[in-house]
Amino acid sequence: MGSRRQGAVVVPQHASGEGSARGRLRGTVLRAQSGFFWIETEQEILECTLRGRLKKDRQSSDIAVIGDVVEVLPTSPGHGAIEAVLPRRTKLARRAPFTRGVWKEDVLVANVEQVLLVFACASPDFSPRMLDRYLVLTESSELDPVIVANKVDLVGEARARELFAIYERLNYPVLYTSATTGLGIEALRQRLAGRMSVVTGRSGVGKSSLFNMVQPGLGLAVGEISAAVNKGRHTTRVAELIALNLPGGGYLADTPGIRELGLWRFPKEELGQCFREFRPFLGQCYFAGCSHIHEPDCAVRMALARGDIAPERYDSYVRLYEGE
């Protein structure tokens, strides 16, 4: 992974300093891949594995993921063992299949502060339904989403704002950007500085070009597997944190898992809570456990008829509810 980068900060709580037990160091998980973890401590970056007792404790969630604050015990130069994982302040998670029909929590990033959802205004065409899927994931994890409307230069700012107007009305922050013209780059830098952020978006939306404008070389680093850690034994896709050279530091996380929403299953009874415009009307329906699709005297559908809920958003809800 190389040496500790100058100007980087450790965003999660207690992510630096000595551990609580003698000989232990405290640090942040920068990379997790095939049972190996790269931990940034104040002194160096260590390649670590989990202690056996931690593996035995694994039940319905991941033991350690990128962003976790851990205590490690050095075992040899450049290597160590994770002795403990500190409680997470926040997490970006989804539900994933486990064994015999049991669902487990799949934590993608720990201690994250915001999720940047990058969508192009054109080329590829903007997909509101996919954005709604991402928003459901962030709402269920109780995280702050930031919508990045990229490639504004292809459609013009007026059209771009028209495409994303519904989300601004719901008080989601929307940044309008263009790597070609430089639009919104400084606002994006300010959003990233000093925070642990996750970035995601479809292929082709311009993430690399955009983040290279924010910090030269950053877009190329997102999602790459460095030769230093890819020695043949690690063959799965990698999740990693990238240190930011911005005022106050910060980290940017890229994880393949957030893009695989087609594999994700969400409890239908919780779906309405993830549509923030539904919340004022939940619990007011005539039938308990209302699906908000076909039952009579449904408060959500009455709000839809009054124009308090946008038809496009309601359509996304129905499609997600029905598993489409």
- Per-residue 3-state assignment (H helix, E strand, C coil) for the chain: CCCCCCCCCCCCCCCCCECCCCCCEEEEEEEEECCEEEEECCCCEEEEEECHHHHHCCCCCCCCCCCCEEEEEEEECCEEEEEEECCCCCEEEEEEECCCCCEEEEEEEECCCEEEEEEECCCCCCCHHHHHHHHHHHHHCCCEEEEEEECHHHCCHHHHHHHHHHHHHCCCCEEECCCCCCCCHHHHHHHHCCCEEEEECCCCCCHHHHHHHHCCCHHHHCCCCCCCCCCCCCCCCCEEEEECCCCCCCEEEECHHHHCHHHCCCCHHHHHHHCCCCHHHCCCCCCCCCCCCCCCCCHHHHHHHHCCCCHHHHHHHHHHHCCC
Predicted pLDDT at 93: 81
> Which range has the worst mean pLDDT, 33-37, 57-61, 82-86?
57-61
Q: What digits encode the pLDDT tens for the residues 211-256? A: 999 998 887 555 443 333 333 333 335 778 888 999 999 999 876 6
Question: For the domain with range 107-263, which CATH number is right: 3.40.50.970, 3.40.1010.10, 1.10.1660.10, 3.40.50.300?
Answer: 3.40.50.300
Predicted pLDDT at 202: 83
pLDDT exceeds cutoff 90 at 308: yes
Q: What digits encode the pLDDT tens for the residues 30-39? A: 998 888 999 9
What's domain 268-321's architecture?
Orthogonal Bundle (1.10)
**Single pTM value for the model:** 0.82
Give the whole-number percent of the chain exceeding pLDDT 90: 61
Name the residue ranges covered by the structural domains of the chain: 25-88, 107-263, 268-321
Q: What digits encode the pLDDT tens for the residues 138-172? A: 998 899 999 999 999 999 999 999 999 999 999 99
What's domain 25-88's architecture?
Beta Barrel (2.40)
